[in-house]
Amino acid sequence: MEPVTILILAALIVIIGNLIKGFFGFGGAFFSVPMLSLIMDIKFVVPVYLLFDLFAESVMCTVTRKDIRMDIFFEMLLGLLLGTLLGTYFLVSFSSLLLKRIFGVIVLVTAVHMFLNHQRHIEQLKLKLTWLWSDIAGFFAGLFGAMYGMNGPPLATYLGIIRMPKALFRATIFGISFVNNIAILALYAYSGLMTKKVITTALFLIPALLLGLYLGTKLQQKVDERQFRRVLAVLLIVVAMVLIVR
């Protein structure tokens, strides 16, 4: 495939991925990373998407900083650090094929869960905030964040279970993700994953990111969330199967 064709396809994927992020508040990487991994090396895709997240989160943290629950961040800190270190090690050490297949399984399980609309059962749970649960959630956020740029879903699941108000929920996800992604950036740079090509590709695709966020915000007012979630789930199931068997 020609480089220009790859960049055009990448821009379209980034637009759709950030449309999803603008619609739900998170989940852009959940769509974009597996899709981009079909046309690019996953070890290249994940650092590119890390730069996207840092750009978006730096803006959102400035706007929502007063609502960030720093006490939860500090309770998650140990788990975040351990998960981030382990996730970076896996990303560097594992082959691209193995990484894609593991990711395919994660995406498949999550997409089936999404399609069956089990979110209602999650919302019915109530979990008492403790250091142990915070560190467990932080560990998986750091692990998936470093391996696949996906620290949002574990954070969203945990903060949803402890029944955090919407404004604090969004702000805390942005704040924790931002700090976690700075640590991941440092580890990627040390490990040689953050190359000049990664940076230039991310800069080229930032307009697509901004367009997707804008469209997602507008779409949220017009489209039924449940139907949108199911269509997305079906698409992700197909992508996951391709990642697993390819």
Hey, where are the domains in the chain?
3-245
Q: Give yes or no for a contact between 173 and 26, defined as CB atoms under 8 angstroms apart.
A: yes
pLDDT of the residue at 126: 53
Mapped onto helix, strand or coil, the DSSP state of residue 242 is helix
CA angle in degrees (0–180, nearest 5) for 142-158-98: 40
What is the share, in percent, of the chain residues with pLDDT greater than 90? 33
Q: Residue 24 pLDDT more than 80?
A: no
Residue 125 has pLDDT above 70, yes or no: no
Structure-block tokens of residue 35: 């899709």
pLDDT at residue number 89: 95
Q: What is the pLDDT of residue 225?
A: 66
Query: How confident is the model over 222-241, as a mean pLDDT?
Result: 76
Average pLDDT over residues 27-36: 83
pLDDT per position as a tens digit, 7-18: 999 999 999 988
Listed range (48-57, 72-81, 103-112) with the worst mean pLDDT: 103-112
pLDDT bin (cut points 50, 70, 90) of residue 58 is: confident
- Residue among 50, 15, 39 nearest 188 (CA): 50
Strands in the chain per DSSP E: none
The mean pLDDT value of the chain amounts to 84
Task: Give residue-wise pLDDT tens across range 127-176.
Answer: 555 678 888 989 999 998 999 888 877 887 787 777 777 778 778 888 88
Q: Tell me: the pLDDT tens digits for 170-194?
A: 788 888 889 999 999 999 999 999 9
> Reduced to 3 states, what is the DSSP secondary structure of residue 102?
helix
Cβ(116)–Cβ(109) under 8 Å?
no
**185 contacts 50 by C-beta, under 8 angstroms:** yes
Model-wide pTM > 0.75:
yes
Among residues 33, 158, 172, 163, which one has the least CA distance to residue 106?
Answer: 33
Confidence check: pLDDT of 123 > 80: no
C-alpha dihedral, 109 to 90 to 80 to 106, nearest 10°? 0
> What is the spatial distance between Cα 47 and Cα 149, in angstroms, rounded to a whole number?
8
